[in-house]
Amino acid sequence: MPVAALLTLMAVGQFDPYVRSRVTAGDPSTQALYWTVPLVTWNLNREGNLVTPAETEFQAIRASFQSWQDIFTSCGNLSLQEGPLVDSREVGYLRGKTNHNLVLFRTQNCSELAQPTDPCWKAETCANQYDCWDDDDGTLAITLTTYDKRSGIIYDSDISFNASRYFFTAVDGPPCTSQGQGNCVANDVQNTATHEIGHFVGLDHTRVSGSTMFPSAPQGEVSKRTIDPGSRDFVCDVYPKGKPSQSDFHPAMDTLAGGPVGDKGCSATGATATSMGPALLAWAWLRRRRRAAEGRS
Ligand SMILES: [Zn+2]
């Protein structure tokens, strides 16, 4: 995409209290992404981060989901419920397989496991094939969402942490001041997960200072653990209590709550990946999008 066009897209709504994710990133003429089912189950991969006892980061991630659930309980219509720990490490919507809304840590980098000529790079399948982080080094975590391209209805959303590059911690403070320091906040699991769950439920980045959905996080930050008023309003507006979830225009013509199995007339499934990078590189990681290799065509 030409730089000018990209800058224009980035400028649209980037200081709004909240910004909805779109079928085409940053293009408000395309459908917003949202869940239409009343209950979304998410699953932790049982391995955790392999650095600390898995239960440490699991509790941090549960606290992040709970922060969102508290808002959904007060003014929303969606329940985010933890399912059992799972062995699966495959992200994306997997045709003909059991699909989990997965949260996992990638501890190895794909560049060390897959040859540069490996077809998995082009097909964007390295992460699943080699169980590795295949995205930019400057990205802390990524949420891969698979949705119906016409309606914006989300089918599947998976959160991956980049533990191949970043040291994740689950303590409250103080910020670490040097590498390898113990009992301090390096990259906070709960801070990161709270942001990524925002993507999971259909939020894009906003550059409003102090927002949970601000696109970057400096080391030591824990402030995104507390969900800001703009992101709270998103829940109340888009998932209103006692009412259907809101598409903001040209509502979906059919319901696809059962998922994209069988032909319900939708022509394609897209996937969007939204990432969160370190502060200095934040502008580069505002928004990423890619088609799911496993998507329908
Ligand atoms: Zn993000």
Could you read off the pLDDT of 253-273 as tens digits, one per residue? Answer: 444 433 333 222 233 344 555
Residue 225 Cα to ligand 1 midpoint, Å, equals 14
Residues in a beta bridge with 103: 44, 159
What is the spatial distance between Cα 145 and Cα 40, in angstroms, rounded to a whole number?
A: 13
Residue 191 Cα to ligand 1 midpoint, Å, equals 11
Residue 98 Cα to ligand 1 midpoint, Å, equals 26
Residue 213 Cα to ligand 1 midpoint, Å, equals 6
pLDDT, position 178: 81
Residue 276 Cα to ligand 1 midpoint, Å, equals 4
Residue 199 Cα to ligand 1 midpoint, Å, equals 7
pLDDT reading at 5 higher than 70:
no
Could you read off the pLDDT of 60-79 as tens digits, one per residue? Answer: 999 999 999 999 999 999 99
Confidence band, pLDDT 50/70/90 cuts, at residue 275 = low
pLDDT, position 71: 98
pLDDT reading at 11 higher than 80:
no
pLDDT, position 182: 77
Would residue 283 count as lying in a domain? yes
Residue 135 Cα to ligand 1 midpoint, Å, equals 13
Would residue 297 count as lying in a domain? no
pLDDT, position 179: 75
Would residue 294 count as lying in a domain? no
pLDDT reading at 289 higher than 60:
no
Would residue 295 count as lying in a domain? no
Q: How far apart are the first and last CA of the chain?
A: 23
Would residue 176 count as lying in a domain? yes
Q: For 77-106, what is the mean pLDDT?
A: 94
- Structural domain count of the chain: 1
CATH number at residue 135: 3.40.390.10
Residue 264 Cα to ligand 1 midpoint, Å, equals 31
pLDDT reading at 250 higher than 80:
no
Residue 46 Cα to ligand 1 midpoint, Å, equals 24
What is the spatial distance between Cα 249 and Cα 169, in angstroms, rounded to a whole number?
A: 41
Residue 129 Cα to ligand 1 midpoint, Å, equals 24
Would residue 296 count as lying in a domain? no
pLDDT, position 191: 96
Instruction: For residue 114, give its domain range.
Output: 3-289
Would residue 232 count as lying in a domain? yes
Between β-strands 203-204 and 269-276, what pairing exists: parallel, antiparallel or unpaired? Answer: unpaired
Residue 215 Cα to ligand 1 midpoint, Å, equals 5
Residue 275 Cα to ligand 1 midpoint, Å, equals 4
Would residue 78 count as lying in a domain? yes
Confidence band, pLDDT 50/70/90 cuts, at residue 46 = very high
Q: Is residue 39 within 8 Å of 79, Cβ to Cβ?
A: yes
Q: Is residue 160 within 8 Å of 133, Cβ to Cβ?
A: yes
| Residue whose pair of structure tokens reads 């209590």 in the numeric block | 241
